[in-house]
Amino acid sequence: MGTEVERNANPISSSTDEDLKELEADYAKLREETEQLIIERTELDSELRTVRKKVERLEENVNLLKMPPLIIGHLQDVLDHERAIVRSSNGTVFQVSLNQRLDPEKMKPGTRVALNQDTLSVIEILHEAWDPMVSGAEMVEKPEITYDEVAGLSEQVESVREAIELPLVKPELFAKVGITPPKGVLLVGPPGCGKTLLAKAVANHTDATFIRMVGSELAQKYIGEGGRMVRELFSLAKEKAPSIIFLDEIDAIGAKRLDGSTSGDREVQRTLMQLLAELDGFDALNDVKIIAATNRPDILDDALLRPGRFDRVIDIPLPDDESREEILKVHLENINTKKVQLRRVVEKTQGYSGAELKATCVEAGMIAIRDGRSVVVHSDLMAAVTRLDKKRSQGSQNSSPEALYS
């Protein structure tokens, strides 16, 4: 009896096995395709964010272009909270009115100010060491970021320290051995993974002034303007030395040179030529270092990567499991948490950038507050991940990475 049943059962089970194998093969193929699609989507997302940032900046530029020019002058005396005496840049002295929005604390004789062209009233207070030529640069005497805050990038931190910190702190080592240290490094990787953070940490550790300039700000369309800005940027860096120039989005001026380009493109190329000339013109042993960053290394002009320029390229990739855990630890350090299963959060945040991990922690805190608690629990983090996932998928349609913090 038993053998009869087995004989009948065999054909059924072998066909089920085959079906199962086929299904497994289909599943593996689908998974492979999905992974490929995810990679492509991440790349497209990153490209979209960059383009969006550029659009925002161009819109700002257009608004700026519509504004009438301001005259530069110096305060000679502040008469009361409404009136002051200023000397304009051509030497004439006027009594003018003050913009009531301005901080009276900062209104001291000698302060550099911007004046309205018609009424000469004081519109803006200019930073003391701020050269109007180097508009768009951000300068911090000593950034507050330390290496401990840069998580999951220990190898990269080592490389940057070796290339930037060591020549600044111990130039004699290089002189003794007789080698020339690199003038700068190029950080390459997707947005929000810690490029700016790393550059600030080096500046902090070397007590160097940190000067950040975004490439698209230099990509001026006016003849000679971009080149002049690059020159001013380097002379400001030399004046403030030891200093680190952080040139973000270098691809905006460092893209491959093409034939038959427009006059605007040619001007951008002239800016690049000026940058190359500045790079070649200063001594690698002096105390100005350059850290450039891009998420489009593929379009960079080879001239930038030649020896003596950015010959050291450091990859700052999306964080892997271990790095995500470290980044989460950094951002959860000051948050009151209870029974958080970090590994589970790590698993759920595959493909997240450092900035997105930070946003997850902030979001979890917000969820706890909304719930009337002062402690973040595991479910808050999981809910934050779900929210971030949603924003990430919307992000590819209509939001910038900064919006993730909202």
Contacts with ligand ATP by CB under 6 A lie at 149-153, 191-197, 248, 295, 327, 330, 354-355, 358
Least distance (Å) between residue 248 CB and ligand ATP? 5
- How many other CB atoms are found less than 10 A from the CB of residue 60? 12
**Separation of alpha carbons 355 and 83, rounded Å:** 45
CA atoms within 13 A on the CB side of 385: 15
Residue among 115 and 187 whose Cβ is closer to ligand ATP: 187
Residue among 77 and 315 whose Cβ is closer to ligand ATP: 315
Least distance (Å) between residue 291 CB and ligand ATP? 10
Residue among 240 and 324 whose Cβ is closer to ligand ATP: 324
**What contacts 24+ positions apart, CB below 8 Å, involve 227-233?**
227/270, 227/271, 227/273, 227/274, 228/133, 229/133, 229/134, 229/135, 229/136, 229/271, 230/271, 230/274, 230/275, 230/278, 231/274, 231/278, 232/131, 232/133, 232/134, 233/134, 233/137
Least distance (Å) between residue 63 CB and ligand ATP? 22
For residue 76, give both structure tokens: 């000679």
Least distance (Å) between residue 53 CB and ligand ATP? 8
Residues in contact with 117: Cβ distance below 8 Å, sequence separation at least 6, in sequence order: 68, 69, 70, 71
Question: Cα dihedral sign for 199, 203, 204, 209?
Answer: negative
Residue among 182 and 192 whose Cβ is closer to ligand ATP: 192
Least distance (Å) between residue 349 CB and ligand ATP? 13
Strand pairing report for 313-315 and 184-188: parallel
Least distance (Å) between residue 75 CB and ligand ATP? 36
Residue among 128 and 144 whose Cβ is closer to ligand ATP: 144
Least distance (Å) between residue 367 CB and ligand ATP? 19
Residue nearest to ligand ATP (CB): 354
Residue among 269 and 349 whose Cβ is closer to ligand ATP: 349
Residue among 53 and 183 whose Cβ is closer to ligand ATP: 53
Residue among 111 and 353 whose Cβ is closer to ligand ATP: 353
- Which residues sit opposite 86 in a β-bridge? 75, 94
Query: H or E stretch including 186?
Result: strand 184-188
Least distance (Å) between residue 151 CB and ligand ATP? 4
* Cα 183 to chain centroid, rounded: 20
Residue among 197 and 244 whose Cβ is closer to ligand ATP: 197
Q: Do residues 192 and 45 lie in contact, with contact meaning Cβ atoms separated by under 8 Å?
A: no
Q: Do residues 232 and 134 lie in contact, with contact meaning Cβ atoms separated by under 8 Å?
A: yes
Least distance (Å) between residue 219 CB and ligand ATP? 16
The percent of the chain in helix, strand and coil, each rounded to the nearest 5, is 55, 15, 30
DSSP state for residue 68 in the 8-state scheme:
P
